[in-house]
Amino acid sequence: MSIHRRGFLQAGALGGLILAGCERPAEEGATATPTESLSGAERADLEAVASRILPSDDGTPGAKEANVIGFLERGFTTYHAFRLPIVRTGLADLTRRAGGSFAALPASRQDALLKAVEQTEFFQLVRAFTLCGMFADPSWGGNREQAGWRLLGFDPRAIWQPPFGFYDADPGEDA
Amino acid sequence: MIRYRPQTEVDFVIVGSGGAGGILAKELSVAGHSVVVLEQGPWLEQEHTRHDEFSTQILYSTWNDFFRHPQTFQKTANDAPIRSSEFVGLYYGRHVGGSNSHFTANYWRMHENDFRERSLYGEHAALADWPISYADLEPYYTKAEWELGVSGAPGPFDPPRSKAYPLPPLPPKAGGIVFARGARKLGLHPQRAPMAILSRPYDGRQPCKHCGFCLGYQCEYKAKSSAFSAMIPKAVASGKCEIRPDSYVFRVEMNASGRATGVRYYDKARQEQVQRGRAVILCCNGAETPRLLLMSESSQFRDGLANSSGLVGKHLMFNCAAGATAVFPEPLNEWKSVGCTHLVMDFHEGDPARGFYGGGGMDARLDWTGPISFALFHTRPDAPNWGADFKRQLVESFSHRVSIFCHGTSLAVETNQVLLDPELKDAWGLPAIRFRYRDHPDDLANVGFLQGHAHDILQAAGATQVWNDPIVEQTWANHMLGTCRMGNDPRTSVIDANHRTHDVRNLFICDGSSMVTSSRGQPTATIQALAFRAADTIPQALKA
């Protein structure tokens, strides 16, 4: 992702989070059999976190509808299993802060707890992976039925013809 | 494809199959020379063109990864080294075709004055004149445009050209239209962008289908005029050139009389091999070429091969850059089609009255590799980055935004350099790259100046929101330039004007490392013009 020539400027805090510490190329493990699994409570809490990063309160699809949890679970138990301890520790911390199940809290309370941890490695990692799970090719386990792409208005077809947008339909002397 | 045995002494061993190596392979083999091209990485075909952003861009399946190829970075020699990760490192395509397969395909010539800036503007860091002029290179810019296939139209600030572009410009995009409109309102002179992407069928290849997956991807239609699509097939068809992938060269072999005899490399099975050749040409990019020379040290060449000047790896230049982003009332859909279609070149030339060295060009683009990069990196820096407001911002701006990207200069600074890490090794046990880099204050001032104009253009164009993306010192790059610079004086340069190393008569270098100055953020056309020229000058130099 380092080829983004400008985007990185806004991502300083994210630098290294997706891949730092990886000991082997992630794609080699993408089809690996999971060696660990999330507990039911961990899975529910992780899905709840993803659902506050990309919520569905406005009636449009969010992380939940796009099955981002499927993407996260697969990643953190196979090709990114080495990050699972960060996820587990972060979820345990949320459980402590929640005084019980994070997933069972009302959304406003979840948001307040996440606000308090938004600078942590755990949150930054889950945020980055949630966005990947929302907008990656559905074959990676998220973006179910292209819910993330449809939300943005992105159409993955391989062939387009001009005009591409509004302003190039009748460009006049600006062409 | 012809196969040579490593023991066979071929005419040319070329290390690296990218934007320069691919051209030299084609030119030299079609001219009748026997050629072996050794490429570090694999030969990728369909798997390289998939629009699977997570795999290809986030998990690095088509880039040098930092697991097998770790690097370290320091701002200066006094700072503690940091391990490479996203946003800290030198990134390049490590496969047949190299980074050139991934480029946006901007194809900007350098201007006449860009070759003599030391004479024009006086002393600035290690700024130097080129030993060749624009007139020397012009025929080869033209050759590159016609051999590869470049679409474009003349602009008001263009240097003289001997021949028109072979192809008309690509269809304008909405972002380019609003950019041009805003620029004209401010009295500037927008022009169509020259792009190494086919607007019409050309040379047996299909034109662009406007899928939007250029940056970071190899084109499945071969509409992007990369060396991989346009040159390597012809090199192979010559019957004289073998492209040998998965061949990781780590030493240039020398004999007692100081001539190169070939190169030593690891094959796919990590067995050592030596490919013999009458001459060796390094085209490994501005990071790997100096690394290979430094790894080739011996009792004969204690400071590294071809390094009597002590300048191998020094004068590293990245191309400083900045951007401003805007949201427009109607859809732009910048996620379709090529990277950009319009430029503003009014600020290309340096101007001492600005108070700093440098100049630059601007284009309008989305600057992404797909929806993931948009969501991860392209939201307003001062806005929430998760939750309902973040989601709304993503949805509302995805099709309505464009950035003006300002491509600037980098001054050559001797302390910015590629060297060998004293301890860290890669997965083959070879010394890892260490790089030091700190933007010169003039480079940052220059892109700040350009960014101000970009902001004004977007406002004049009728944007509803405009913001400047923060300018930070660069810690990573995919343009690595100047590290084996060209010059007439062996004390102040590594190669001569014919790409021959000053120290070894049959060892040549042609890639971004050859550049004396940094261009205006778009070095590919110049690197490839140099490669076409080197294909003429190298055989002549060997005869002389």
Chain-chain contact of A14 with B376 (C-beta, under 8 angstroms): yes
Total residues belonging to chain B: 544
Residue A19 has pLDDT above 60, yes or no: no
CA distance B331 to B99: 32
Distance of CA B141 to CAs A89, B18, B135, B156, B534, Å?
A: 57, 17, 10, 18, 12
Chain-chain contact of B58 with A10 (C-beta, under 8 angstroms): no
Banded model confidence at residue A99, pLDDT cuts 50, 70, 90: very high
B145 touches chain A (CB under 8 A): no
Banded model confidence at residue A7, pLDDT cuts 50, 70, 90: very low
A137 touches chain B (CB under 8 A): yes
Banded model confidence at residue A11, pLDDT cuts 50, 70, 90: very low
B216: left (phi over 0), alpha (psi -120 to 50) or beta: left
Which residue(s) pair with B266 in the sheet?
A: B248, B272
Q: What integer pLDDT is reported at residue B84 of this predicted model?
A: 86
B470 touches chain A (CB under 8 A): yes
Closest-approach residue (CA) in chain B for A132: B372
Q: Token pair of B373, please?
A: 């990069």
Q: Residue A154: which of B136, B480, B449, B213 has the closest Cα? A: B213
Mean pLDDT of A98-118: 97
Q: What integer pLDDT is reported at residue A50 of this predicted model?
A: 98
Q: What integer pLDDT is reported at residue B199 of this predicted model?
A: 98
Which run of H or of E encompasses B261?
strand B260-266
Q: What integer pLDDT is reported at residue A31 of this predicted model?
A: 56
With contacts defined as CB-CB under 8 Å, which chain A residues touch B334?
Answer: 164-165
Instruction: Provide the Cα torsion B243, B244, B250, B251; round to 10°.
Output: -70
| Number of A–B residue contacts, CB under 8 Å | 242
Closest-approach residue (CA) in chain A for B49: A158
Angle subtended by helix axes A84-98 and A107-117, to nearest 10? 120
**Minimal CA separation from A90 to chain B, in Å:** 17
Q: What integer pLDDT is reported at residue B173 of this predicted model?
A: 98
Q: What integer pLDDT is reported at residue B3 of this predicted model?
A: 98
With contacts defined as CB-CB under 8 Å, which chain A residues touch B471?
Answer: 9
Q: What integer pLDDT is reported at residue A18 of this predicted model?
A: 54
Q: What is the pTM of this model?
A: 0.96
What are the residues whose beta carbons fall under 8 Å from the beta carbon of B256, sequence distance 6 or more? none
B181 touches chain A (CB under 8 A): yes
Banded model confidence at residue A15, pLDDT cuts 50, 70, 90: very low
Q: What integer pLDDT is reported at residue A32 of this predicted model?
A: 61
With contacts defined as CB-CB under 8 Å, which chain B residues touch A18?
Answer: 58, 86
**Minimal CA separation from A85 to chain B, in Å:** 20
With contacts defined as CB-CB under 8 Å, which chain A residues touch B209?
Answer: 158-160
Residues 24..53 of B with a Cβ closer than 8 Å to A: which? Answer: 51-53
With contacts defined as CB-CB under 8 Å, which chain A residues touch B330?
Answer: 165-167
Q: What integer pLDDT is reported at residue B56 of this predicted model?
A: 82
Instruction: Provide the Cα torsion B339, B345, B347, B351; round to 10°.
Output: 130
With contacts defined as CB-CB under 8 Å, which chain A residues touch B71?
Answer: none
**Minimal CA separation from B230 to chain A, in Å:** 21
Mean pLDDT, consecutive 10-residue segments, chain B of 544 residues?
97 98 98 98 87 84 80 96 86 94 96 98 97 98 98 97 98 98 98 98 98 93 97 98 98 97 98 98 98 96 97 96 96 97 97 96 91 89 94 96 96 98 96 98 98 98 95 91 98 98 98 98 97 98 90
**Minimal CA separation from A169 to chain B, in Å:** 8
**Minimal CA separation from B424 to chain A, in Å:** 14
CA distance B101 to B94: 10
Closest-approach residue (CA) in chain B for A173: B181
Q: What integer pLDDT is reported at residue B62 of this predicted model?
A: 73
Residues 29..48 of A with a Cβ closer than 8 Å to B: which? Answer: 30
Which residue(s) pair with B264 in the sheet?
A: B251, B274
Q: What integer pLDDT is reported at residue B391 of this predicted model?
A: 98
Distance of CA B2 to CAs B28, B236, B380, Å?
A: 15, 8, 53
Residues 418..457 of B with a Cβ closer than 8 Å to A: which? Answer: none
Residues 198..237 of B with a Cβ closer than 8 Å to A: which? Answer: 209-212, 215-216, 220
With contacts defined as CB-CB under 8 Å, which chain A residues touch B370?
Answer: 135
B67 touches chain A (CB under 8 A): yes
